[in-house]
Structure formats: C-alpha cells, structure tokens
Amino acid sequence: MAQECLTSQGRIVEFAAAVRPFDFALAPGDEIVPKAAMRRLPSVDALLRLPELAAARAEHGHAATAQAVRTVLAGYRADPACDVPDPAGLASKVCEELASRAQSSLRRVFNLTGTVLHTNLGRAVLSEAAVAAADLAMRAPCALEFDLAGGSRGDRDTVVEGLLCELTGAEAATVVNNNAAAVLLVLAALAARREVVVSRGELVEIGGAFRIPDVMRAANVRLVEVGTTNRTHARDFEQAIGPRTAALMKVHASNYRISGFTAEVAQAEVAAIAHAHDLPFIEDLGAGSLIDMTELGLPKEPVVRDCIAAGVDVVTFSSDKLLGGPQAGLIVGRKDLIARIRRHPLKRALRVGKITLAALEATLLAYRKPDLLARDLPALRALTRPLEEMEALGQRIGPCLAAALGEDWKVRTVTSTAQAGSGSLPDRAIPSLALAMRPQGKPGRALEKLAARFRALPVPVIGRIHDGALLLDLRCLDDEAGFLEQLELL
Ligand SMILES: *Cc1c(COP(=O)(O)O)cnc(C)c1O
C-alpha cells in the first residue's frame, strides 16, 4: 500500500537513496514525510509559546498567528528534502507569513507608465488638502446631511453644490459615484421611455464597458442616431425631433478623433434647436475641465463653464480625470432639471459617501486659486512638470539604475511621450523624459523579465516596453528616495 502510494506520487525517486521505507509514516491523506524530518519539526503549541512570537501574537492575534504557524510547519512537512531551521528561524518564517497575509492587495505602486491619469492605477493622486479632508471625515462625525444653522436634516449635495456652481456658472449641481453613473442617472431621470438624439460621430466607447448605446438601453431610453460617422448637421437634429423626443445630447469624443471631411454641430447651435422645441440639451463631457488647460501650457480640453455659457442644460463630467479629485461623477446645470435628477430613485443608489465628498470639496477649493493649481494638485503638477526637472532627476537616478542592473543592460535617458490618460487630452502627446533600459545581448524575453522584476519590488514599479527597451517615464516619479531605496532589491 505504502509502496503504491509512493510510486503514484512520484516521490520515491527523490529520497529513496537517503531514506529507507520504514522511515515513512503514512496516514490516509497525509503528505509523504520521512520520520526523521517530522521529528525535527516542533509542535504548533511549542512554536506558539516561543518568546519570538509574542510580539506577532500581540499584533495579529492568536488565531492568525496559530494559522501562520500551521502554514509554515505544513510547508516544511511537505518538502522533506529541505532543511528545517531552528525554532528562532521558524519563528521568523511565521512572522514573514503573517506580514505577507496582512499586506493590502490594493498595493501602492510607482506609476512610471507615462500615462498620468491611469485608470488601472487609480487615476488622479489626491492633493494634500483632499487627503486631510478625507482623513477628518473618516475620524469623526461630520455634518454630511445636517443643517447646522437650523439644526435640521440637510442634503449631502450642499457640501459641494455652491462651489460647483461658482466654478462652472451653473444654477445647480449634484454628485454621484462616477461619470458613467452621472450619464445613466441623467438619462433615466430626464428621458426614460422616450428618445434621445445623438450624432453617429459621438457614440463613444470608453475602456471598461462604457458604451453610449448600452447606457441608453440600461436607462430605458431609445437612442436616435443622426448624421453619419464623419458629418452631422443641424438639420439632422431638427429632423429627428418628434413627439417622443426627450432630449438632445452631445458626447465628448474622449479617446478618438474623426478627421478629414468632417462636420459637427456646435454646442450653441444644438442648444438653440433644443430650446426652440422646449427640450433639454445634455452633454457628457468625459474629463471636462474647470479651467482653460492651455493657460498651463497643456492641450485644449473643453471647459465646463463654456458649455454652460453655450446653453448646455446639463453637463456631466468625471472628478478623477483632469479635475484631479476622487472618483465621482459631477452633474451641473439648470435648477429644475437637477431637481428632477436628484428626485430619481437611482440617485440614492448612486450617491457618494462622506469620504468622497470631503476630498471633492477640498479639490474644488483648490480651483479658487487657479495660479497655484499646478503646485497643489498632483495630477496637474505631473502634467505640467518642466522637462529640465525631469532631466536632472534622470541624471541623478540613471547611474544608480545602471549600477543595480549591471553589465547586461544599457541605461539611457531618452525623450518619450506621456499622456494625460483616462480619455482626457486624447491623441495629444505630452513631451516627457524616460529612463530606457536596453538589454546588451540578444533580447529574447529579457525585457518582459526585467519588467516583472520591477513589478515584484516591495513598491512595484510599473513602466512600459517600447521599441526594444523598458521605459520608466519620469513625469510621475515624485518619490525619488523611495524609488532609489529599493533598487538594491532588484
Ligand atoms: C471617461 C468617460 C466616461 C466615464 O467616466 P467615469 O468617471 O470613468 O465613469 C463617460 N463618458 C465619457 C465621454 C468619458 O470620457
């Protein structure tokens, strides 16, 4: 029986030379273990009593520590060929096991991809003020829905509504979970069971399954497409309006451009048509911006205030794209329409929490000081970082990187192109600098392997492979010391 079992597990080859059959103790379901090794392993209780594990028990609790002890012992039991350390060594393995289990899976990373607002890496990094405000909101009760003057119940939207109106020129504002939620809610509240007219050139798909036709369907709205992919005219909107029309809508082509023989109907023109028929005009602006980005030397991006001024009745945009705040969807516009949106049952399902509202308010407050924005908001700071600053940074850390990688890699500072990301400022590359690592010999899979080594660091470093090199874009590297500190672990 034992013989059969051994053969079927294919282990006999490994230790037949060193251990004779009677050294094995097998119970049903047991791992195959030489008695010799088992004797050298202490019991769970004996390990738990070690003074070396007292601190671990105080931090992680008895149950988790005991579980970690069992896991570590099982590991040694399963591998009879390996050497079992002394009790102090076992204790330190237990501490490692506990630390690895306690580690958050939402790991901090270095975003050196060159995409500043990287959706997969959490988009905007928040300002110090936003972090402090969120921290405070988490630590103590706050007047989230409470009118301090009257002592009565309030509305959470009032936390940011005044600021949003001030910064956009809108009459009213409300906030939901993200811009996708904002679009869904606006459509459900203003157009359910009716029709919304959109140009065929604007039926956007944003990465991660946001597609205008699908959102329309989910909101129980019938999409009426007008025009063609490249050209839509005012008369296309005019002719599509009928008794079932609920609204006209524009969607910002966030992540693509239609060029060549094109025609688009300007906001003011769509607004005039909508208002002549007493219909609301909705615009999904995607990223949207509260300021003119060209004043910061960045590519042009639509400004929310301009949309309101042009006659858009309801504008939706993201709080964590160019705005540089926490994830949220902002809805600004006409008072009567915002009131209808706020009353819809989906609003309750899509509302944001106090942590988001606190961080959003602090982010919006920064826009009252437009001349300091590039200093105070990390997203705008990264987007406007001067090339000379990155060049100096590259000169300081390039040699350290070269030393850490050794002979096999050539490290150089190269010009690269960064981008805002998240569908903001699309197809407008922002000049940037990167450290490029090129394998000296035949590349093979060397680049992928090196990228994996960077990702395996305590604070994973995420770069991008381009043109035969692994690039670490310097635009978003703000923790130089933290980056250098872990190079020796590479
Ligand atoms: C990004 C984007 C969305 C989705 O916004 P989220 O905040 O990611 O939900 C919707 N519409 C447009 C045009 C966008 O650019």
Residue 181 CA, closest ligand 1 atom number: 9
Give the pLDDT of residue 64. Answer: 96
- C-alpha 318 – ligand 1 centre gap (Å): 6
Residue 327 CA, closest ligand 1 atom number: 7
CATH number listed for the domain at residues 125-376:
3.40.640.10
**110-117+382-489, which class in CATH?**
alpha beta
Give the length of the chain.
490
* Sign of torsion over alpha carbons 174, 179, 183, 185: negative
Mean pLDDT within 455-468: 96
Mean pLDDT within 29-50: 70
Residue nearest to atom 6 of ligand 1 (CA): 179
- C-alpha 154 – ligand 1 centre gap (Å): 29
Tell if the pTM clears 0.95, that is, is over it: no
Give the pLDDT of residue 38. Answer: 53
Tokens of 371: 């001349």
Mean pLDDT within 297-323: 96
Give the pLDDT of residue 32. Answer: 52
Q: Is the pLDDT of residue 22 over 50?
A: no
Query: What share of the chain has pLDDT > 90, as a percent?
Result: 81
DSSP assignments along 393-436, one per residue: HHHHHHHHHHHHH-TTEEEEEEEEEEB-BTTBSTT--EEEEEEE
The best mutation among 179, 186, 211 to test binding of ligand 1, ranked by most ligand atoms within 8 Å of the C-beta, falls on: 179
Give the pLDDT of residue 5. Answer: 36
**Which of these ranges, 87-101, 168-182, 334-348, has the smallest mean pLDDT?**
87-101
CA 382/CA 385 separation, integer angstroms? 5
Give the pLDDT of residue 12. Answer: 37
Residue 185 to residues 168, 177, 314, 330, Cα–Cα distance (Å): 20, 10, 12, 11
Give the pLDDT of residue 291. Answer: 97
- C-alpha 250 – ligand 1 centre gap (Å): 13
Which positions ≥6 away from 124 have C-beta within 8 Å?
117, 320, 321, 323, 324, 325, 326, 377, 378, 379
> Which residue in 282, 317, 325 sits closest to 301, CA to CA?
317
* Residue 80: Cβ within 10 Å count: 22
Residue nearest to atom 14 of ligand 1 (CA): 286
CA 44/CA 28 separation, integer angstroms? 21
> Alpha helix locations (H) across 277-406?
304-309, 335-343, 345-350, 354-366, 373-376, 378-383, 387-405
Q: Is the pLDDT of residue 138 over 80?
A: yes
CA 270/CA 312 separation, integer angstroms? 9
Residue nearest to atom 5 of ligand 1 (CA): 179
- C-alpha 287 – ligand 1 centre gap (Å): 7
Q: How far is C-alpha 195 from the chain's CA centre?
A: 34
CA 48/CA 55 separation, integer angstroms? 11
- C-alpha 206 – ligand 1 centre gap (Å): 7
37 confidence band (pLDDT: 50, 70, 90)? very low
- C-alpha 317 – ligand 1 centre gap (Å): 7
Contact 427, 257 (CB under 8 A): yes
- C-alpha 461 – ligand 1 centre gap (Å): 27
| Host H or E run for residue 105 | none
What residues flank ligand 1, with Cβ below 6 Å? 178-180, 183, 204, 206, 210, 251-252, 254, 284, 286-287, 318, 329, 422-423
Give the pLDDT of residue 82. Answer: 85
CA 279/CA 283 separation, integer angstroms? 13
Q: Is the pLDDT of residue 27 over 70?
A: no
Mean pLDDT within 100-123: 94
**What is the per-residue pLDDT across 403-425, written as a single tens digit (0 to 9) for each?**
999 999 999 999 999 999 877 66
Map out the domains of the chain as residue ranges. 2-102, 110-117+382-489, 125-376
254 confidence band (pLDDT: 50, 70, 90)? confident
The best mutation among 199, 202, 206 to test binding of ligand 1, ranked by most ligand atoms within 8 Å of the C-beta, falls on: 206
* Mean pLDDT rounded to a whole number for the chain: 91
Give the pLDDT of residue 222. Answer: 98
Strands 329-333 and 222-226: unpaired
- C-alpha 460 – ligand 1 centre gap (Å): 27
Tokens of 213: 């036709």
